[in-house]
């Protein structure tokens, strides 16, 4: 299986090319189009148990259901698109581990295990939530970015806004801390919580923050009628 990405960076669309018998799993609602020889199977995303996957979908913005696309009899393709505008990126796993911000994950082949052994976090003040999926194994993992992607090879220390982080390789340690010196300052600064990352590895950063975009537009919208 390999990915081909078009319409970068503003409205990226990914084509997953499958050989006969190959399959790819994707977030529910990511599918745009597919060839008629592709069979779809919807599975509850119960990696790590039902409770964990419920928690994952509630905290991480990851969908509870996963679709599995398999090419039957002949080669085929499926295309995937994220909800917001922005780029798509592929990270190749070679027996290594990648930690992905819950809402950035799009799809991966069967040779990649998506797990949730990493603790999530929910901010009290800003409504920020942070939840990592762990991807291990072999093969290409597809992720979305809100805006453009910066690929950063970290060797040392870096502070990253939680809303701008897409993914990072294992070997980088992180702590969630307040952005300013005190809680009040962190709240007023609009930065809320940040990740202090340390170590050696790769970090993917997105140039826009979905939550901030939501707040900027949301503040102007009329209250939702219920």
Partner 1 sequence: MQFQIEHGPAFAWLRVQLGAGERITAEAGAMVRQSPTLEMDTRLNAPRSTGVFGKIWGFMVAMARKMFGGETPFLNDFHGATGGEVVLAPSLSGSVVHRRLGGGSTMFVQTGSYLASSGNVDMRIRWGGLRSFFGGEGLVLLECFGDGDLFMNSYGGVTEVPIDGAFVVDTGHIVAFEGSLDFKVRSIGGLKSFLFSGEGLVCEFQGRGTVFIQSRNMDSLVSWLSPMLGS
**Chain positions contacting partner 1, by CB under 8 A:** 9-10, 85-86, 147-148, 150, 157-161, 164, 179-181, 185, 188-191, 194, 196, 205, 207-209, 212-213, 215-217, 219-222, 224-226
Residue 70 CB coordination number (10 Å) = 19
The least distance separating partner 1 from the CB of residue 140, rounded to whole angstroms, comes to 23
Q: Which is nearer to partner 1, 112 or 154 (CB)?
A: 154
The least distance separating partner 1 from the CB of residue 104, rounded to whole angstroms, comes to 15
The least distance separating partner 1 from the CB of residue 191, rounded to whole angstroms, comes to 5
The least distance separating partner 1 from the CB of residue 109, rounded to whole angstroms, comes to 28
The answer to whether 18 touches 69, Cβ cutoff 8 Å, is: yes
Which residues sit opposite 177 in a β-bridge? 194
Q: What distance in Å separates the CA atoms of residue 11 and residue 82, rounded to the nearest whole number?
A: 9
Q: Which is nearer to partner 1, 20 or 190 (CB)?
A: 190
The least distance separating partner 1 from the CB of residue 91, rounded to whole angstroms, comes to 19
Q: Which is nearer to partner 1, 34 or 154 (CB)?
A: 154
Q: Which is nearer to partner 1, 22 or 87 (CB)?
A: 87
Tokens at residue 154, please? Answer: 């970290």
Q: Which is nearer to partner 1, 49 or 171 (CB)?
A: 171
């Amino acid at each position: 299986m390999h990915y081909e990405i078009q319409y970068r960076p503003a409205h990226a669309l990914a084509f997953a090319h499958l050989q006969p018998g190959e399959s790819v799993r994707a977030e529910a609602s990511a599918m745009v189009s597919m060839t008629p020889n592709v069979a779809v199977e919807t599975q509850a995303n119960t990696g790590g148990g039902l409770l964990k996957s419920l928690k994952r979908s509630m905290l991480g913005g990851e969908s509870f259901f996963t679709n599995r696309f398999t090419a039957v009899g002949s080669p085929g393709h499926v295309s995937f698109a994220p909800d917001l505008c922005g780029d798509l990126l592929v990270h190749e796993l070679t027996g290594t581990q990648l930690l992905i911000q819950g809402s950035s994950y799009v799809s991966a082949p069967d040779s990649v295990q998506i797990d949730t052994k990493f603790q999530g976090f929910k901010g009290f003040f800003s409504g920020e939530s942070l939840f990592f999926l762990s991807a291990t194994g072999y093969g290409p993992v597809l992720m979305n970015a809100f805006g453009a992607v910066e690929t950063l090879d970290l060797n040392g220390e870096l502070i990253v806004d939680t809303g701008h982080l897409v993914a990072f390789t294992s070997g980088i340690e992180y702590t969630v801390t307040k952005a300013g010196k005190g809680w009040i300052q962190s709240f007023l600064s609009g930065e809320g919580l940040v990740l202090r990352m340390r170590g050696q590895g790769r970090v993917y950063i997105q140039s826009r923050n979905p939550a901030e975009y939501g707040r900027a537009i949301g503040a102007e919208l009329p209250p939702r009628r219920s």
